[in-house]
Amino acid sequence: MKTDPRAVKTGVYYIDGDVAAGLGALAAGCKFIGGYPITPSTEAAEAFARVAPSAGAMFIQMEDEIGSIASIIGAVWAGVKSMTITSGPGYSLMMENIGFGAMLETPFVLLNIQRAGPSTGVPTKTGQADMMQSRWGSHGDYELIAIAPDSPQEMFDYTIKAFNLAERYRCPVMIMSDECVGHMTEKVVIPRAEEIEIEPRRFYTGLPNEYLPFKPDADLIPKMAKAGDGYNLYITGLIHDERGYPVKNEEFKSAYVRRLVDKIRLNKDKIIEIKEDGTSDAEVIVVSYGISSRVAVRGIERAREKGIKVGNLRLVTVWPFPDEKICALAKTIKAFVVPEINYGQIVYEVDRCSHGKANVVLVPHGGSGVHNPDDIFDAIVYAAKQERKIEGVIEYKTKLEKMIFGGGNKLKE
């Protein structure tokens, strides 16, 4: 299905990632954003709010982030594509309703422009420390999709993709961007409307008295109905049967939650997008996402100049995690180097999937800035030298950390 031409601002722009995401949402067919301003995500909502009224869409500033996410889930059930936009503290407030959205199999998109945490942290500076929260933040078992764009152009493109994935798999989709990408100004090309493919909602079209709102199709995903169409919906965050009616017994509970996670897990191959370069004959592979993948490129270039065989594996989709891919690569290489702006989140996933077959080196960063490419280069050189498997994740001391905490590298080189 092609998108609505009124919502596409075709042209070549020089804009930041936030604005690109706002325009991407419109182009994806988003008709409603309920949001609450928070640095550094505000520009995305502003961009949407500026263009929405002439594209048949609406932005409403809700009273808080809990109200924002509750309103977009409501709007989705009223039949429109919806999104909310936030950062750290607002993201924490939204957690309960993310699980609610997953439970109701509500397709919505949440743009999180990560900032340095914890708590209020540094509102205007970058961080990548919400990655585990995006996966596990709400209580209970559920699966969702998270994408980490690394440029303003990708903020536009992957916002559209996020909406398409949400509709396809009927689940919340997180765009886990960060302040650097959000506030990075680059060239963004917005194509013509007829070049933008969007996934329509899969509405049920049969008879109302035969409709079971949670009866899955063969691909484990049920068809949706919208409020006001006479389907007499009963939709609840309680564990429910195919009719949507609450049930308590363990068979139903197991069957329902199993399907909720399986509809993502069994479709992983279709969902996951990774970008790799030089991984086939590499001895060290840098695994990165978001802004860290931009910084990593320079470190990788320098290492290649030195003759080290370095591969670059960029996680565009962070959740679900590409277990099989990492597992397969671990057997062929010496080490993974994982630069991320936190003290270890995705690196533990890499370690889990490498099953002790390869060393895993974390290049940490406390936030408020990005890595120095020299640190990534040094970590690659270090990782390439290691022959013996060192148990657990190795934390590489960056120049910044050495400067702050004194002492040498705790690792024996």
Partner 1 sequence: MNSIITAFAKGIEKSGVKPSMICVPSDIPFEPEVVDFLGVDFFHTTRGRAIPFGTGLKLGNPALKVVPFIGGMMTLGGNHFVHGSRRNMELLVICINNFVYKKIGGQSVPKAAPAFSPYSTFDEPFNIPHLGNSCGALYTARWTALHIDELANSIAEALNKRGMSMIEILAPGPNYYTDIEHIESNVLNFYYENSVIKNNEDPRNVEITPEKKIVVGKFTDKERPTFLETYNTQLGSVLGDKFIPYGFVPPQNKSGGRNGGD
| 3-class secondary structure, 254 | helix
**Least Cβ distance, residue 228 to partner 1 (angstroms):** 5
Q: Residue 234, interface with partner 1 (CB under 8 A)?
A: yes
Residue among 212, 235, 257, 327 that touches partner 1 (CB under 8 A): 235
Q: Residue 231, interface with partner 1 (CB under 8 A)?
A: yes
**Least Cβ distance, residue 137 to partner 1 (angstroms):** 14
Is the four-CA dihedral 340, 344, 350, 354 of positive or negative sign? Answer: positive
Residue among 24, 29, 34, 367 that touches partner 1 (CB under 8 A): 34
Q: Residue 193, interface with partner 1 (CB under 8 A)?
A: no
- Residues 47-86, one symbol each (x = binds partner 1 by CB under 8 A, - = not), give ------xxxx-x-x-xxx-xxx-xxxxxxxxxxx-x----
**Least Cβ distance, residue 285 to partner 1 (angstroms):** 41
Contacts with partner 1 by CB under 8 A: the residue count is 49
Residue among 236, 254, 280, 409 that touches partner 1 (CB under 8 A): 236
CA 234, CA 353: separation in Å to the nearest integer? 40
Is the Cβ of residue 11 or residue 56 nearer to partner 1 in the bound state?
Answer: 56
- Residues 240-259, one symbol each (x = binds partner 1 by CB under 8 A, - = not), give ---xxxx-------------
Tokens representing 351 are 């370690």
Cα separation values, 122 from 117, 131, 269, 305, Å: 7, 17, 37, 36
**Least Cβ distance, residue 54 to partner 1 (angstroms):** 4
**Least Cβ distance, residue 236 to partner 1 (angstroms):** 4
CB distance 26 to 48 below 8 Å: yes
**Cβ-Cβ contacts under 8 Å for 76 (sequence gap 6 or more):** 82, 106, 107, 108
CB distance 218 to 23 below 8 Å: no
**Least Cβ distance, residue 264 to partner 1 (angstroms):** 22
**Least Cβ distance, residue 118 to partner 1 (angstroms):** 24
Tokens representing 101 are 């959205």
Q: Which amino acid appears at position 405 of this protein?
A: F
Q: Residue 233, interface with partner 1 (CB under 8 A)?
A: yes
The DSSP element (H or E) to which 327 belongs, if any, is helix 323-330
Is the Cβ of residue 225 or residue 296 nearer to partner 1 in the bound state?
Answer: 225
Name the residue among 153, 199, 111, 208 with its Cα closest to residue 13. 153
Is the Cβ of residue 77 or residue 163 nearer to partner 1 in the bound state?
Answer: 77
Q: Residue 203, interface with partner 1 (CB under 8 A)?
A: no
The DSSP element (H or E) to which 373 belongs, if any, is helix 373-385
Is the Cβ of residue 158 or residue 231 nearer to partner 1 in the bound state?
Answer: 231
Q: Is the peptide bond before 40 cis (omega within 30 degrees of 0)?
A: yes
**Least Cβ distance, residue 93 to partner 1 (angstroms):** 11
Part in contact with partner 1 (CB under 8 A); list of ranges 27-35, 117-125, 145-153, 325-333 = 27-35
**Least Cβ distance, residue 173 to partner 1 (angstroms):** 17
**Least Cβ distance, residue 16 to partner 1 (angstroms):** 24
End-to-end Cα separation, the chain, in angstroms = 57
**Cβ-Cβ contacts under 8 Å for 42 (sequence gap 6 or more):** 18
Please list every residue from 120 through 139 that binds partner 1, using CB under 8 A. none
The DSSP element (H or E) to which 49 belongs, if any, is helix 42-51
Cα separation values, 160 from 83, 209, 261, Å: 11, 34, 23
Tokens representing 382 are 């270090």
Cβ count near 250 (within 10 Å): 9
Residue among 215, 226, 265, 298 that touches partner 1 (CB under 8 A): 226
Is the Cβ of residue 66 or residue 400 nearer to partner 1 in the bound state?
Answer: 66
CA 300, CA 111: separation in Å to the nearest integer? 29
Please list every residue from 88 through 117 that binds partner 1, using CB under 8 A. 96-97, 100
Q: Which residues bind partner 1 (CB under 8 A)?
A: 6, 31-32, 34, 53-56, 58, 60, 62-64, 66-68, 70-80, 82, 96-97, 100, 208, 226-238, 243-246
